Amino acid sequence: MTVFQDFSIDPAILRAISDMGFEEPSPIQKEAIPKILEGLDVIGQAQTGTGKTAAFGIPIVEKVSPELGAVQALVLTPTRELAIQVSGEIRKIAKYKRVRTLPIYGGQSIGHQIRALKMGVHVVIGTPGRLIDHIERGTLTLDRVRILVLDEADEMLDMGFIDDIERILRVLPGERQTLLFSATMPEEIRRLANRYMKRPVMIKVTREEVTAPSIEQVYYKVLEKNKLDALCRILDAEETELGIIFCRTKRGVDELSEQLQARGYLVDALHGDLSQAQRDKVMGDFRSGRIEYLIATDVAARGLDVTNVTHVINYDIPQDPESYVHRIGRTGRAGKHGIAITLVTPREMKQLRVIEQLTRTRIQPRELPTVEEANERRLAQFVAEVKAMVEQGDWHPLVEEAAESLISSVDPRTLVRALVHYALKDELTLEPDSGYDFGETGAAAGMVRFFLNVGKNINITPKKLADELSQIAGVSVGEIGRIDIFDRFTFVEVSESAAPFVYEALKQGKLLGTRVFVEPAKPRSRR
């Protein structure tokens, strides 16, 4: 087993990684980090969700010298979102080292970026176009760069950045280490690697097929910001005996268990930082049913032996198919019914597909219970409880007095309404805000209409488009409405509930292999 301490890296980095809540290196990190530290060129085949960012981020922070006030590592990313995300992750890894990072992308004031660069930066993470802008203005000096990373290289090529990338490669010192990460390895990537990398080591962690147990497997698509709400609705709808909820990091475990406890769920946290006594107590509570859900990291759950686990919930998607199989194997033991539930954000949909492929299983999509369903369930339960209480008829002696006073002064209908409201006001949910308001798009009622900047020119047909959207966004074909395809653009309507997923998936993904631009349609463009 590899732990982070096995890598020859600065204790300051180990401390930062521990603060981030990582317990052990992910498969891609186990393979890639030692090679990168050795100074080799590395090609890593990995998508979002595998821990690829830290796989190159940790060695970068290790190798950069803070005393030298020059850009020493450069990371190219296809999108501004990714640049910001990668920069954020490297910054966290560098928390206890004086390594400065800066994301540079189009759309942000160039003046601001120039000032930030002048302050002295060690690691620059940027999109190709804006980087070239700075190179041409002479505001970004790259002659001390020792490490170059091409992140999501296939995406960059799809977006037509190949010329820009080659221009940047030509101004970099030849004496450097080049790392390339990509979810897929098409021919152009190999060509790029042959031209610009020195005897690269190929790392691919998810090549082997693994067998998933034959239990019910489902996924819910969720938006990052609504994950907690979505989980609560799932928990409310499930009949659970005992369940395990998996998070990626121990920090995630702590946060989630606090949030769920605050909402009144019977849960407790299990992770590697607990003492044996604490661990025994949590496990005792779990076995005896005093807690309903154990919240755990992969590491903490290793070696757990509990029967009767009816639910395994992947709050964070596992980092590789093996870990998926491991996690879900904790339910459905001894012929009992078990279910594995995975929450998937639009960015992680690719990772879900890889898991499906390598486990040769189809993980069925499910729709979150609607607010109406959740509320109805709670109301029905409340009415039943009150009726049972009326039958029993024994209440606290002091209740009588308050009841008499209310009955004599308030009309009975109004009184009952007020009491029901008082009892349930904090529990009945309102629609959680998806964070998206697409405004008036000229769509049919209950639908949102999107504009896409591709049409017949990439050979889409309504059927292909509907299939592809349902695949990449995880929505059912039934949620896709009217489709109008023109030569160079397309309008497509999707249900309001599916719209945020389709929008995020298209912003971050591709359609039939082509990068597209998507925006809510303008109402007047309806034909």
Q: How far is the CB of 326 from ligand AMP (least distance, A)?
A: 15
Cβ proximity of 271 and 250 under 8 Å:
yes
* CA distances to 24, 35, 252 from 6, in Å: 10, 13, 24
51: contact with ligand AMP by CB under 6 A: yes
Q: How far is the CB of 361 from ligand AMP (least distance, A)?
A: 22
* Closest among 140, 365, 331, 363 to 240, alpha carbons compared: 331
Stretch that binds ligand AMP, among 52-60, 115-123, 260-268, 425-433 (CB under 6 A): 52-60
Which is nearer to ligand AMP, 176 or 271 (by Cβ)?
Answer: 271
Site residues (CB under 6 A) for ligand AMP, limited to 183-242: none
Which is nearer to ligand AMP, 493 or 504 (by Cβ)?
Answer: 504
Which is nearer to ligand AMP, 177 or 345 (by Cβ)?
Answer: 345
Q: How far apart are CA 60 and CA 72, in angstroms?
A: 9
* CA distances to 46, 73, 137, 168, 344 from 174, in Å: 26, 14, 22, 12, 41
Site residues (CB under 6 A) for ligand AMP, limited to 89-128: 89
Interaction pattern, residues 70-89, with ligand AMP; x per rule: CB under 6 A = -------------------x
Q: How far apart are CA 56 and CA 177, in angstroms?
A: 11
* Closest among 505, 502, 460 to 485, alpha carbons compared: 460
Q: How far apart are CA 253 and CA 247, in angstroms?
A: 6
Site residues (CB under 6 A) for ligand AMP, limited to 6-45: 22, 25-26, 29
53: contact with ligand AMP by CB under 6 A: yes
Stretch that binds ligand AMP, among 46-54, 114-122, 166-174, 396-404 (CB under 6 A): 46-54
Strands 147-150 and 267-270, by their bridges, are unpaired
Which is nearer to ligand AMP, 49 or 103 (by Cβ)?
Answer: 49
Site residues (CB under 6 A) for ligand AMP, limited to 256-295: none
Furthest C-alpha separation in the chain:
90
The owner of tokens 């039934």 is 478
Q: How far is the CB of 50 from ligand AMP (least distance, A)?
A: 5
Which amino acid makes up residue 280? D
Q: How far is the CB of 56 from ligand AMP (least distance, A)?
A: 9
Stretch that binds ligand AMP, among 48-56, 142-150, 213-221, 303-311 (CB under 6 A): 48-56
Which is nearer to ligand AMP, 52 or 91 (by Cβ)?
Answer: 52
Q: How far apart are CA 181 and CA 193, in angstroms?
A: 11
521: number of CA atoms within 13 Å, CB side? 25
Per CB under 6 A, residues contacting ligand AMP are 22, 25-26, 29, 48-54, 89, 248-249
